[in-house]
Amino acid sequence: MVSLVLRFLLLLLCAGHWSAMSTGIFHFNRLQHELPGGKHQCFYFPMEDEFVLHIYVKVLRGGKLDVDVHLLNQTGHVLEKHLRTQEVSFSTSTSKGDYKLCISNLFSQLTSKRVSFVASWWEEHRIQAYREEVAELLGMHTNAMDNIGNMTVNIEQARMFITKSVDEMMQHFYSFLNLNRLVQRMSLAICLLVLTTSGVQVVFIRRFFRLPNPTSKQKNRI
């Protein structure tokens, strides 16, 4: 069991980790991407009419943990715009065409950012048809069937929650690594400072207590 957990964590820490899943009604994609300083990256999602597209973006490490996030529709119109954000989540109804998610690190020229994002989309009309079909087969009250139909949506929301929790864990992990490096560098700097101070003290003491060498006249008197 422990080995399986370790394998899972190693897979999560791999660069460019990508996962995708589709259930026919729901489509789910997750990617971890290293975004270099002064660069931006766009991702495309082919959508149909009456789809609901949900996007979740989180910066895991790098600099001040912030990026610019834009979502554009098939005509290039900006639907969502979030500047210098660490974590953002939003949903939108779509029409037929390619939707573009752009993540930008242009304002940070020297620092790369590791970004995790999740894109999930589903067909709202198929969910409604599913609810009606279940209600007809079981002959139960419509409100009760709505609750049953919402179970699929709840599963998707639970998946999103798990993804966010994993990203939080990885963010803390990277923060711990950065703190560990900082402590090591500070320890080395303190050691160098102590050695330098000790050397200066030794030189000062030797010069302060150094006896003058006797001159030739002093030697003759002796």
Alpha helices in the chain (DSSP H): 2-13, 124-138, 142-208, 216-221
Q: Are 121 and 51 in contact (CB under 8 A)?
A: yes
- Residue 113: which domain range? 10-176
Residue 32 lies in a domain: yes
Q: CB count, 10 Å around CB of 137?
A: 9
Residue 76 lies in a domain: yes
Task: Name, of 20-29, 49-58, 120-129, 143-152, the range with top average pLDDT.
Answer: 49-58
The answer, yes or no, to whether residue 115 has pLDDT greater than 70, is yes
Residue 203 lies in a domain: no
Residue 206 lies in a domain: no
Residue 214 lies in a domain: no
Q: How many domains does the chain have?
A: 1
Q: Which DSSP string do the residues of 101-134 spell out, in sequence order?
A: EEEE-TT-SS--EEEEEEEEEEEHHHHHHHHHHH
- Cα 79 to Cα 10, 120, 157: the distances in Å are 35, 16, 22
Residue 52 lies in a domain: yes
Summarised one tens digit per residue, pLDDT across range 70-106 is 999 999 999 999 999 999 999 999 999 999 999 999 9
Q: What is the CATH number for 47?
A: 2.60.120.380
Residue 68 lies in a domain: yes
pLDDT of residue 88: 93
Summarised one tens digit per residue, pLDDT across range 194-214 is 888 887 777 777 776 665 665
Residue 221 lies in a domain: no
